[in-house]
A and B are shown apart, each in its own frame.
Chain A
Amino acid sequence: MAEIMKIRNISKNFGGIAAVKDLSFDIYEGETLGFIGPNGAGKSTVVNLLSGYLDTDAGSIEMNGMDITKMKPYQRAHLGLSRTYQIPRPFPELTALTSVATSAICGKKRYNQSFEDSLVEATHYLEFVGLFSKRSILARDLTFYELRMLELARALATTPRLLFIDEVMAGLNPGEAKDAIRMIERAKNDFGITIFWIEHVMAVLMEAADRIVAINHGEKLAEGTPEEVVNNEAVIEAYLGRGWKTYA
């Protein structure tokens, strides 16, 4: 498998605190890569660095062989990189359809696409996530689960090649969570995208991820298949603390 994204030795400091230290890993085309770590491990910082919201202090990020380290978020979006947010951030004053249509207009460049074309395309994505009947409802009036789905539709409408999913399970009940996982699986297969999945709930990634990267204090702890990572001493120690065996 070819790498879709190469991350080499990226670092980020906030004042004296090193949020990310010398982190390197690859994301391969077509895989679902899980990204785990305890609270404050630097997961969201890494996502912000990769999607361009924060600038790296050192290191390089390559996408499809192109150096995107200094690129702005919108340029990365045009290259086929999209993300969802930990806490849903809809456009509150736009209807579900127009929010998704905005993505279809602004995402990856599509030539000769009219405004109406983008609306039709947005309908397709809304139908995919099951929000077609809510297309004319303002985003601020949607429920939490629907907002998550709207975020997914909005991210998909930019026609990404690589999709960052930031803690999609947060705030969902078990039934909704199951639906959400199925939806992401379907999106991956139907649209042929690569998924980089940041998650707290290990059980979810055990089922869905092909590989997992674990970090703590901004440094990589482990990388490998879900089973390998879960049984890794350093990962368990990061989650449960030192000397966990004495209590086990």
Chain B
Amino acid sequence: MVSYEIKRDRITIRTKNKKWEWVIEPRYWRNSLIWVGLLFIFPAVAYFVSPGLINTMISANLLAAIALPMSLMTLGTGRVNFGPNFFVGIGGYVAALLSIHLGMGPLFTLPFAVAVSLFAALIYSPLVIVARGLYYVLISLLLPGVFFEITVIYTNIFKGDTGLFGIKPLVDTGNAKINFILIAYLSLVIMVAFLWGINKTVKSRYGLIMAAINDDEEVAHGIGVNINKVKVITFIAASGMIGLIGWFYAHYFSSFAGQTYLTFTFMLKIFLAMMIGGRATMFGSVVGAYFVTFLEMLMIRYIGAIQPVLFPVILLILLFALPEGIFGLYRKRRYREYFPTIHVRR
């Protein structure tokens, strides 16, 4: 009862009483469903072509899933947090310690990892109200470093130098390849869920309020926005999301080391993903994360591990050449589409 029809410019699918039509025209390619669909096909294709690509994809998804809440945080608090990896560390260490010492599986460590991240964010949140500009940058930049120092000082708990091992794996089906592909899909689901939720928030009235805070806090306060409430809630929610990715890292690699996640290099990767896509643009963050991860993979394969040197250079060039990222170029031409405009016929 299903009939297909392919014409020059459209595909039509008809069932008994429904009709779907897809117009093949570049301006409809902006439909995010197409791109998300392609991402879902990717692991299955990579499984047969080059299984190593799945690993890169997982990394890209996780990086995007950090860059997305980070963008939300930047938009909602009107400040750039230079230490989002602090919450990756918290989520990861909580999951790792609970799994190692209490033998908890990933499903049981998840609520604890997120809850502790949220609690840490709640304690951290007054800074979003009090500190501004350079002071906020300095404090947020220092916190992951301080946390790393703590993991080294209390090395009997955190194993700061070597990292914690023996964390229960995220998925355990007995078949390594299937595990891998399941993890790829799980990371993709988390990333897409973040993307959907955050994009929905940004396009709603709360997004508009956040944009107002981002533009001018005092004026936003004057027109009736409870800026402290909005800033704290955004900050805590975004931190919880980042903490969840820490949990994912810990169970995915079955090990967790501050050396990897609490250092400047990792922070730089998150930043580069955000900047390439465009500050505080959601789809841009995903593009940026994929770009950075694949660039890193190519660099390691063909030039050697010089990304700690090259990434800052790329970031600097981008700051001057393309301050609003790839999506900034698009936005400059078509900013009207960013927020709904209404057209009144006279």
Task: Point out residues on A near B: beta carbons under 8 Å.
Answer: 51, 53, 72-74, 77-78, 82-83, 85, 89-95, 97-99, 101-103, 105-108, 115-116, 118-120, 123, 135-136, 138, 154-155, 158
Contact = CB atoms under 8 A, between A and B. Distances in A.
A95 B215 contact: no
A154 B222 CA distance: 11
Given A72-B221, A74-B227, A91-B216, A106 B209 contact: yes
Interface in B167-223: 204-205, 208-209, 211-212, 214-216, 218-223
Given A77-B224, A106-B223, A136 B209 contact: no
B336 A95 contact: yes
Interface string B68-83: 0000000000000000
B215 A158 contact: no
Contact of A106 (B224, B335, B336): B224
B260 interface: no
Nearest to B215: A91
A78 B225 CA distance: 9
Given A94-B215, A120-B342, A102 B208 contact: yes
Given A95-B335, A115-B205, A83 B222 contact: yes
A117 to B, nearest CB: 10
B219 A85 contact: yes
Contacts, number: 94
Interface residues on B, range: 20 to 34
Residue of B205, B214, B220, B225 with most partner-chain A CB within 10 A: B205
Contact of B224 (A85, A98, A120, A158): A158
Nearest to B342: A119
B209 to A, nearest CB: 6
B341 A92 contact: no
Contacts of A94: 208, 211-212, 215, 339
B335 to A, nearest CB: 6
A106 B209 CA distance: 8
A53 B344 CA distance: 37
A174 to B, nearest CB: 28
B226 interface: yes
